[in-house]
């Protein structure tokens, strides 16, 4: 079962990143995959997630051009995520909910890295998926009201920042994504995702963007990091924080 979930995750990542590439280059979502450099149609053995990249040493079999390392990274990460989510939740509706959430988050991170865009279509899909995977224990209005505190705070913060600094601190797509995440997680966990993503984003900027302060950079990958850590270690992180500030005995 573990191998099945790893393969499923890497195949879905490969498919969604391929769709993101086609969407960006305005190609039809249908049709055989081609090398983006030489246009050669790819055979089945060129398209095996993770393994093809390793066997071909990261280069196209036909023209020798480098294959995107991000694509390989997404396949590996999503396969590992599926494996961990399966072991964490077992087989139930929550697993289905989070498998698709993380696949779409990963595709959004990939899209953000290569184009600095967040697709509204993917966000609408995530919202629809949350409604489809609705459980009787969920209280439907609270699914949406949970999303308001963090998204509302980000809108207010963005407006104030724009007023004072005349700059946009965060893309609208990122704020919409936090609204969607609020529909999947409690507002406290969504706040934790925001804190982790901001912290990791700041660390990234301090290391790699020191000379390009306030230059736009892809933020969805950091939101993805926040969501992964929150799903697997949310309870421990909140307990650690509360212990630190002395609110727990």
Among 60, 96, 123, 229, binds Zn ion (CB under 5 A): 60
Among 54, 63, 160, 206, binds Zn ion (CB under 5 A): 63
35 binds Zn ion per the rule CB under 5 A: yes
43 binds Zn ion per the rule CB under 5 A: no
**Torsion sign, CA atoms 112, 116, 121, 123:** positive
Among 38, 91, 159, 199, binds Zn ion (CB under 5 A): 38
Which C-beta is closer to Zn ion: that of 42 or that of 100? 42
Name the one range near Zn ion by CB under 5 A: 31-39, 51-59, 180-188, 208-216: 31-39
How much is the CA Rg of the chain, to the nearest whole Å?
A: 19
Candidates 122, 125, 99, 92; CA nearest to 109 is 122
Buried b (16+ CB within 10 A) or exposed e, 91-119: eeeebebbbbbbbbbbbbbbbbbbeebbb
Residue 230 C-beta: closest distance to Zn ion, Å: 39
Residue 43 C-beta: closest distance to Zn ion, Å: 12
62 binds Zn ion per the rule CB under 5 A: yes
Residues 157, 161: Cα–Cα separation, whole Å: 6
Q: Which phi-psi region, left, alpha or beta, contains residue 67 (left: φ > 0; alpha: ψ -120 to 50)?
A: beta
Count of positions on this chain that bind Zn ion (CB under 5 A): 6
Residue in this structure with the two tokens 């997404």, named with its chain if needed: 74
22 binds Zn ion per the rule CB under 5 A: no
47 binds Zn ion per the rule CB under 5 A: no
Candidates 196, 104, 179; CA nearest to 145 is 179
Name the one range near Zn ion by CB under 5 A: 52-60, 67-75, 126-134, 209-217: 52-60
Residue 22 C-beta: closest distance to Zn ion, Å: 16
| Interface ranges with Zn ion (CB under 5 A) | 35, 37-38, 60, 62-63
């Amino acid at each position: 079962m573990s191998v099945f979930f790893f393969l499923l995750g890497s195949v879905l990542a490969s498919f969604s990143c391929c769709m993101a590439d086609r969407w960006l280059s305005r190609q039809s979502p249908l049709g055989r995959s081609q090398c983006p450099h030489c246009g050669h149609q790819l055979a089945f053995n060129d398209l095996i997630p993770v393994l093809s990249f390793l066997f071909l040493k990261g280069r196209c079999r036909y023209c020798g051009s480098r294959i995107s390392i991000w694509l390989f990274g997404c396949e590996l990460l999503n396969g590992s995520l599926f494996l961990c989510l399966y072991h964490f939740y077992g087989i139930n509706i929550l697993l289905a909910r989070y498998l698709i959430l993380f696949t779409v988050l990963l595709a959004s991170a990939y899209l953000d890295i290569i184009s600095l865009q967040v697709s509204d279509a993917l966000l609408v899909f995530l919202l629809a998926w949350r409604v489809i995977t609705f459980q009787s224990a969920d209280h439907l209005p609270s699914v949406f009201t949970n999303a308001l505190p963090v998204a509302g705070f980000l809108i207010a913060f963005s407006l104030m920042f724009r007023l004072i600094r005349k700059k946009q601190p965060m893309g609208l797509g990122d704020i919409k994504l936090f609204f969607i995440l609020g529909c999947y997680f409690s507002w406290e966990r969504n706040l934790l995702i925001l804190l982790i993503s901001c912290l990791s984003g700041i660390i990234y900027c301090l290391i790699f963007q020191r000379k390009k302060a306030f230059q736009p950079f892809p933020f969805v990958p950091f939101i993805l990091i926040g969501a992964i850590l929150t799903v697997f270690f949310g309870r421990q992180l909140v307990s650690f924080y509360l212990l630190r500030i002395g609110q727990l005995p």
